[in-house]
Amino acid sequence: ERALVAELRAKAVHDAGCWRLPDGDAYYAAAAEAATTVAMSGDEIHRLGLAQVAEIGARIDGILKTQGMTQGTVGERLVALNKRPDQLYPNTDAGRDALLAHLNRQIVAMQARLPEAFASLPKAPVEVRRVPPTIQAGAPGGYYQNASLDGSRPAIYYINLRDTFDRPKFGLATLTHHEAVPGHHLQVSLALESEQIPLIRRRGFFSGYSEGWALYAEQLADEMGMYEGDPLGQVGYLQSLLFRATRLVVDSGMHAKRWSREKATDYLIATTGIARGRSQGEIDRYTVWPGQACSYKIGHTVWTRLRDEAKTRPGYTPKGFHSVLLKGAMPLAILERVVRRTGAGA
């Protein structure tokens, strides 16, 4: 194996983008469409990302200024906020326990408001657990595991706590809304428990649909008042959106605009305030998985656009619009047809 790695390394080039491969532009377009289920060119993805980075960055800037953080770029101020002692749990077992307790309180608070916007709620409970220390070094920051179909195991929202300093307080709520409620847990569990579709449809997964819903869920939590009196919590939510918008820029930048790894890494750091080590890991991911990182924000854009359209129809209600979750995951192009054909929202 070492000999094979050495052989491959000798042939490797520094350029990371698909553009350097035979039919690379067509390959990137196909990879992005497979991930997002939306047909967009690399240039279109790039322009969408730049526009959304500018809009979200301006919103963060305004809130930070109200909190007395006026010096430096948005990215620099987010770096400073990440390091503030009042935003950090101790990197100890007691600190981790306090962090998990915070997440559980957040879930309970959000669940109490769900009936305002959802006619159907999951029967399966969701628990927050720490990623087992034996696998935390290679595990993502947070992820969701659905409940068993027979009800013998609850749904689990895992959070990686190898270093609590990577999880500042102001960003915890939006991560919980993404992974648990009203994010992945609501979307996945309602599909699994739905009586409207066969089992094979209940188990379906499309990244643009599911990750787009989870980002829409972060926005919905904000709209439902989960950050009232908590401006830094709202900054955490907007930083999450900014990060996903930045992904559109750097993914298309590397694969369609011939950006170097260094340019992509520097842009990610400067825009979002994410530490260099994590940023380099993100760039590695985009290099080997072209298009996938675009599914989050493109999916979010489609979900919010469809809701805005639904609001213009007579009889719109949030509960009516959200009932489309009972039909299971589907490509975004099909979701558009379903919402428009069924008049989802009324």
pLDDT, tens digit, 9 for 90 and up, residues 20-57: 999 999 999 999 999 999 999 999 999 999 999 999 99
Task: Please write the tens of the pLDDT for every residue from 210-268.
Answer: 999 999 999 999 999 999 999 999 999 999 999 999 999 999 999 999 999 999 999 99
pLDDT score at 61: 98
Provide the pLDDT for residue 7: 87
Residue 65 belongs to some domain of the structure: yes
Between CA 310 and CA 345 the distance in angstroms is: 6
For residue 9, tell me if it sits in a domain.
Answer: no
| Helix 24-36, helix 231-256: angle, nearest 10 | 150
- Please name every residue paired with 130 in a beta bridge, in sequence order, or none if there are none: 159
- 66 in a domain, yes or no? yes
* Opening angle at CA 81, ends 77 and 84, nearest 5: 140
Assigned domain for 296 exists: yes
Number of separate domains in the chain: 1
Terminal CA-to-CA distance of the chain, rounded, Å? Answer: 59
The CA distance from 147 to 278, in Å, is 30
Instruction: Tell me the DSSP string of 239-295.
Output: HHHHHHHHHHHHHHHHHHS---HHHHHHHHHHHH---HHHHHHHHHHHHHSTTGGGH
Which residue segment(s) compose the domain that 287 sits in? 15-342
Q: What is the pLDDT of residue 12?
A: 79
| DSSP H stretches of helix in 71-164 | 74-83, 93-113
Question: Is residue 179 domain-resident?
Answer: yes
Note whether residue 133 is domain-resident: yes
pTM: 0.94
Q: How much is the pLDDT for 339?
A: 94
Q: Is the pLDDT of residue 345 over 70?
A: no
pLDDT at 344 over 70: no
Q: What is the pLDDT of residues 142-197, one digit of tens each?
A: 899 999 999 999 999 999 999 999 899 999 999 999 999 999 999 999 999 999 99
Distance CA 228, CA 234 (A): 9
Widest Cα–Cα separation across the chain: 67
Residue 1 has pLDDT above 80, yes or no: no
Band of pLDDT at residue 138, cut at 50, 70 and 90: confident
Q: What is the pLDDT of residues 292-321, one digit of tens each?
A: 999 999 999 999 999 999 999 999 999 999
How many angstroms separate the CA atoms of 148 and 49, rounded?
37
Residue 45 tokens, joined:
């993805």
Residue 14 has a pLDDT of 80
Domain contains 139: yes
pLDDT, position 346? 60
Q: What is the pLDDT of residues 280-293, one digit of tens each?
A: 889 999 999 999 99
pLDDT at position 343 over 90: no
6 assigned to some structural domain:
no
For 327-339, how does the pLDDT look when each residue is reduced to its tens digit (9 = 90+)? 999 999 999 999 9
What count of other Cβ atoms lies within 10 Å of the Cβ of residue 44?
A: 17
Q: What is the mean pLDDT of the chain?
A: 95
Q: Give the pLDDT confidence score for residue 13 in this predicted structure.
A: 80
Ordered DSSP codes for 296-307: HHHHHHHHHHHH
